Structure 1
């Protein structure tokens, strides 16, 4: 990995996968801009990075708002003068019903964060990365973006859209030396997951058993995949959707 002196932006970095990836970037010597709507979580991530000897700055941003995303990018330049890598991780998952049971508010919320948010971030990240002569972007999709997700059809549609955005941007900017890939996690051990299953260990065991490896994933395992996709080791990889799923999509 050859990241020293470079700058990475991570959205949705206040906890979970985003926090773990921000920490991984910092551990490799990058300066990291941590962004989230959760101020306490984002500042907590910065504190952890600084305690470990890294360099990080928090900038609050609602990725669904064009003006806030533009302000985020301006903040990146003001703090560190450049942008080399971006992990567009901010996303929500709030739907638990069949197609005919959904509602417009859920649809709008999921699509605004998961799709519009990724599109807006890439829209303003790409010129900054081009100014450095190239770099890499990774978007958080999901195994739900690689197939069906019963009772989460809107969420699945949003992640299919993220993969479409990823592939399209990868082709558009390939000759600009910007690689654009997606990471597609299965179920990962995050605070959100624990809140949903801590009251029902039986359900948690069932979810773990859905993965051929017999367990759910760790946030550090997704962070490692993002780091690989950003690294020179993946210099010939673009437009790819990397499943990190314990074998679940191989069934």
Structure 2
């Protein structure tokens, strides 16, 4: 079982560490041009041996590194589309999984995001510390729940556990020529006497500092709202879900 208090301590510490290495983010700044996006290819999210297509490609699948494949869940590819850099052109986010034919270990997973142009795609980032592996959901099984684009942000959701269930949702947005974590929701509950709607949950808007805390006290739900102050945003390339 993951405790929410521990999660929050880690989240705050990561935010403070990030502040030492990053400049302030202004969410009202206009999106950058596609010529700036190409510079994001040097984030080195994968090993040096992995070759990633750096040129514009008409086929999104050519942007998947060698030795990796598009994740298939419930017979459907895990991919979603929407406008992520506010240029009116459809972009794409997908989950990719490493090919491991000769091992019983669960394969690594990564989040791939590419910007669309009029006739091709440009790779923006491959983040390799965002998606949990298929064996990291406890008795529940594969913890990956969904990938979506909502209000111009990429949203990754997980769910797992056994009698005690946990879930989280992370929201990433492209601004100032960089990807940032701008929202986080984390919850847990005992499935023997509660549902997810009755979970202890904390939701943070990292852009404003606003939070909503819901607590289940002997079946009675209480809600607390407040503002913890703005923190330096965490870059997607520095995000590690294992530390959350």
TM-score, normalised by the number of residues in structure 1: 0.29
Name the structure where strand makes up a greater proportion of residues: 2
TM-score, normalised by the number of residues in structure 2: 0.29
